[in-house]
Chains A and B, each alone.
Chain A
């Protein structure tokens, strides 16, 4: 299929780790992105990974890429209530850049205090 797939909901306790998963479709995808959307706001770029990398870490965020299985995950360590939001996975399917991204439907993360 053409879709980027994500589970719709995730609930975690404050202080635990959150893992948000995504499967994408195009093995030639160049970059894969994670965006965060808070209520009533636009999308905030969290991090992105080039397709020839396996892992990228940025403070509390760890991105893992399994290119063989076309699986991407975002791990948030020490999850806080401020992390409650919708998280979108997106893929860039061209090498030339400046082309639209393909987005998943988003995973709503709820953090329980």
Chain B
């Protein structure tokens, strides 16, 4: 089945450690997105990519990095510079034109 796969479902980070969240899609979508969700909050955009080898910062990019080497994959690294990384991270993708965004099931990141 076509869809978006995020892994792992749960992730724990130690102080000073970088961690990488995986997002893979087999929908042949051009654009991919990373959002952060905190309790009682809406979704805030971290980074997005409209095409391979290109990406743009969102509203809260500090402390995060991304790469887009393949169309199917858009991994997000939470660096040690992100001082409050505990949150639910959602990856999405969308196709050409006005196609809606579709979401993965999320990764919950916690601090040890």
Docked CA distance A4–B30 (Å)? 26
A100 touches B42 (CB 8 A): no
Within 8 A of B (CB), among A89-103: 92, 97-101, 103
**Would you call B100 and A98 a contact (CB within 8 A)?**
no
Whether A105 lies near B42 (C-beta < 8 A) is yes
Answer yes or no: B40 CB below 8 A from chain A CBs.
yes
Q: Which residues of A contact B94 (CB under 8 A)?
A: 97-98
Q: Which residues of B contact A92 (CB under 8 A)?
A: 98
> Which residues of A have CB within 8 Å of B101?
33, 45, 101
User: B103's contact among A31, A43, A48, by CB below 8 Å, is which?
Assistant: A43
Number of interface residues of B (CB under 8 A): 30
A97–B98 Cα distance when bound, in Å, is: 5
Whole-angstrom distance from the CB of B11 to the nearest CB of chain A?
14
How far, in Å, is B8 (CB) from chain A's closest CB? 14
Separation in Å of the B50 CB from the closest CB of chain A? Answer: 5
Contact of A42 with B106 at beta-carbon distance under 8 Å, contacts A97-B97, A106-B42 already known: yes
Q: Which label, helix, strand, loop or mixed, suits the secondary structure of the A interface?
A: loop
Encoded as 1 (CB less than 8 Å from any A CB) or 0, chain B from 89 to 101 comes to: 0101011111111
**Which residues on B sit within 8 Å (CB–CB) of A42?**
4, 6, 90, 103-106
Q: Which residues of B contact A50 (CB under 8 A)?
A: 98
Bound form: Cα–Cα A112–B92 in Å: 32
B100 adjacent to A33 (CB under 8 Å): yes
Are A100 and B104 touching (Cβ within 8 A)? no
Min CB–CB distance B26 → chain A (angstroms): 16
Interface flags for B48-91 (1: CB within 8 Å of A; 0: not) read 10100000001000000000000000000000000000000010
Chain A residues at the B interface, C-beta cutoff of 8 Å: 4, 8, 30-31, 33, 35, 40-45, 48, 50, 88, 92, 97-101, 103-106
Additional 18 contacts, C-beta under 8 A, given A43-B103, A98-B50, A105-B42: A4-B42, A8-B40, A35-B103, A40-B108, A42-B4, A42-B90, A42-B103, A42-B104, A42-B105, A42-B106, A43-B90, A43-B92, A88-B42, A97-B97, A98-B30, A98-B97, A99-B50, A101-B101
